[in-house]
Amino acid sequence: MSDVLEVARRARTAAAALAPLPRSTKDAALEAMADALVARSAEILEANALDVEAGREAGTAESLLDRLALTPARVEAMADGLRHVAGLPDPVGEVVRGSALPNGLEVRQVRVPLGVVGIIYEARPNVTADAAGLCLKSGNAVLLRGSASAYRSNTAIVAVLAEAATAAGLPPDCVALVPGTDRASVKELMSARGLVDVLIPRGGAGLIETVVKESQVPVIETGVGNCTVYVDAHADLEKAVAIVVDAKCSRPSVCNAAETLLVHADVAEEFLPKAREALAGVTLHVDERAGRIVDGVPATDEDWAAEYLSLDLAVGVVDTLDDALTHIRRWSSGHTEAIVTRNLAASRAFTKGVDSAAVMVNASTRFTDGGEFGFGAEIGISTQKLHARGPMGLPELTSTTWLVTGDGHVRG
């Protein structure tokens, strides 16, 4: 058995021991893991410095090096994240629905862990602690496969987390790093059907597409965000400018940042110059009609499909709300769309016409986030329709089982 499959086999054994543990044990373990991250931050930062140095020597872009780099404050934030997860309600054992049947049988649908969750992710080593905490809290063993560029960092972090978790009473191998830094180890993880219950890819479109297409293990598709803001004919234009600027500029490199702006023709002449002035530093990729109003680079089909993750924005002018919906249906990744309008009928038509994980009315796309939605941390944002959709918190890391209690009942 390969090293990857052996780690998965041990994780499956750990998952069986982890599933019945009470919340108190899991929460104590998360607190211990948080304390260990802080206490052993020096060795984590030392390993991370080697990753950053190697990345810089390889010519990695500064923006990616920033995502890779850890600081004492970032390690403390990782620890705080684990403590926050410890304080969240435990979904395991929650009764989703239940009833007593006329024949006296009691039927309940109860949340249970998924089992072994594999996370395949890129660049940011803080994801290692976040994913481990969420999976363990929801009763799952977790296999972590970060990018090769962060291998030293992730190795150090997982070593700290695993040692602290085991010392606090969680089963050995409940959190583990997938060995290897090449594509072969990812392929083996994707082939571990029967050992791994679900894979969650977190990263760019290429990574997610590869895992979705090639995995033999069930996949929850997350993250690719080609998000649109539509400024309606009835919009409050000052609010619209603020929403567009926040959606595009507050953090351009994340999946809930806006990549497309559509503006109704009735307000385009007034709105687009205001938006252009406010979007200082943003490159606009404009269609022919928007280009007559503001300067920009001519937009192509590649621009409408793009998840830029940068200070770039595709801009178009549409004649009707239906035209905006038609554009979104063609080009959206199904993540988040927003309408800015004071017209109730327009907002209703938009929310009914858009088929995305989240739809915003007079609010920035940047609010699609587990923390912002008020249910704590998230493992990712699902853009698929089965099992989980939108920000995935602890409940989305569970499945359900049916518990049926009788008193000698037979069907006959």
Predicted local distance difference test score (pLDDT) of residue 140: 98
The closest alpha carbon to 284, from 318, 256, 245, belongs to 245
Give the pTM: 0.89
Q: How far, in Å, CA of 237 to CA of 403, rounded?
A: 54
E strand or H helix that includes residue 17: helix 3-18
| Ranges of residues in the chain whose predicted pLDDT is under 50 | none
Say how far residue 107 (Cα) sits from the centre of its chain. Answer: 33
Asked if 292 and 284 touch (Cβ cutoff 8 Å), the reply is: no
* Residue whose token pair is 């930062």: 45
* Residue whose token pair is 């990753």: 51
Q: How buried is residue 53: exposed, middle or buried, by Cβ count under 10 Å (0-12/13-18/19+)?
A: exposed
E strand or H helix that includes residue 229: strand 227-231
Asked if 141 and 5 touch (Cβ cutoff 8 Å), the reply is: no
Q: How far, in Å, CA of 202 to CA of 206, rounded?
A: 10
Q: Quickly list H helices, 19-71.
A: 23-39, 41-57, 62-68
Supply φ then ψ for residue 324, to 5 degrees: -65, -45
The pLDDT tens digits for 213-238 are 999 999 998 878 999 999 999 999 99
Nearest 10 degrees: Cα torsion 134, 192, 146, 156 = 80
Predicted local distance difference test score (pLDDT) of residue 1: 65
Predicted local distance difference test score (pLDDT) of residue 378: 84
Contacts of 344 by beta carbon, 8 Å cutoff, 6+ apart: none
What are the chain's domains?
Answer: 3-222+379-404 (3.40.605.10), 227-372 (3.40.309.10)
